[in-house]
Amino acid sequence: MSFPTKENITAIRHSRVAVLFSALLIAASVGCKGSPINPASWGQQQQQPAVKALTLQEVNSGVMGFADTFTMRISQACDEVELEYGKGDPGVRRWAQATKIGQAFAAMDIATGPNPEINLLDMVAMVTLKREAVQEYDIPVVLKGKGKEVIDHAYQRSYDEVWALADRDLNDEQLKELRDLIDQWRKDNPKQYYVGFVRLEDFSSFKKWQESPHKAAPGSLFSLLYIDPLAGLDPVAQELRGFQDLTSRMLFILQRLPIIMQWQMRREIDAALSNESVTQFVTETGNFSAATAKFADAVAAYPDQFKRDTQDMVKQLQAAITAERVGMFDEANKTLTNQREAMFKSLDDQTTKLGQVVDKIDKAIASLDQAGTSINDSTTKTVTVAETSTRSLLNHAFLLAVALIVIILAAMLTYRATSRRMSQVRGAETV
């Protein structure tokens, strides 16, 4: 996933008004911003300028030409990666679009600086740092190795060309000093991979040199910062030359900015269309459109369909009523016949059962007569037996009572005699 970086902070304008406004702001800032060196000190170290193979105009032309070549080369590489891998990987697509726009803005920002020598140094530093960042981070981490050959080739070729341009303008000591400065910045910022807008003034060595610029050795890399592009011209010519340079930089920006803004607008549109909510809305809109079309077709066919449905319904209703009427009559006849037969059968059963009941009643009456006679005989016998039993019981009880009285009297007499004898025995013992 790519995050907003310093390389694409300025790539946020979305309309033609914003394009013109941005162009005017950039042109004004380019015309107003100066060298990181105080202009009053430009002439201090010009007594021993370094021997160069290129004039300032040639350096400026070379940097601007390289900026265009670099922008088109990186843009083409990003487009190839996006076309081959971006359809199935939104992360690759976002990286390709952001890199193309960010590198274009970075190259244009450097090429339109007021000092061609500083522009060249900044361009060399930016391309070198970006090449290393792409190899160490973008390709293995963001792209997962996709498009490695295309991206590597584009940055390697740009790296070779910009250092070749620097080799035409700087001597060996200055080239070595520039390489050392870039290497030192990488050591100071080992995890910094967004380097599109890193400039010479961001280097720690440059900041130290700013504190004591008089210590810069003649012919060193920093001595180039003292070169006045308008040295040797009278004030009027300087103003005219400055205006021409400003116009040239403004035209350079205005000619290229619309293309970059088109890329930016395309990126924003692609990001909007790739948004999950937008995709879902488009899908639902398509479904709604299809449903609306089906509804319109249904409404157009409704009169004929209603007529056919009504006719079919009437026919079905008539058939159902006829079938129901016939079935109702048949069912009523069957029900009446069954009820009549069941009623007659029930009457026959009840008559038979009634005859059986009458026979049972007659038999019961006869049984009752016989039972009455038997009861009378039994009663008479029972009374006789009872009287006999009662008389026998009373006689037996009387005999038992007499025997009991006799036994009691005998016991009493025996007790008295025993008591008298025992009294006599005790009296004799006492004497």
b/e code 152-167 from CB counts within 10 Å (16+ = b): eebbeebbebbbebbe
pTM over 0.95: no
pLDDT digit string (tens) for 90-130?
A: 999 999 999 999 999 999 999 998 889 999 999 999 999 99
Q: Which parts of the chain have pLDDT scores under 70?
A: 1-53, 206-220, 222-244, 275-288, 291, 295, 298-299, 302, 372, 431
pLDDT, position 201: 79
Q: For residue range 161-185, list pLDDT tens digits in order.
A: 999 999 999 999 989 999 999 999 9
Give me the pLDDT at residue 242, please.
Answer: 64
Under 8 Å between Cβ of 66 and 162: yes
pLDDT given for residue 230 in this prediction: 55
pLDDT at 58: 92
pLDDT of residue 28: 42
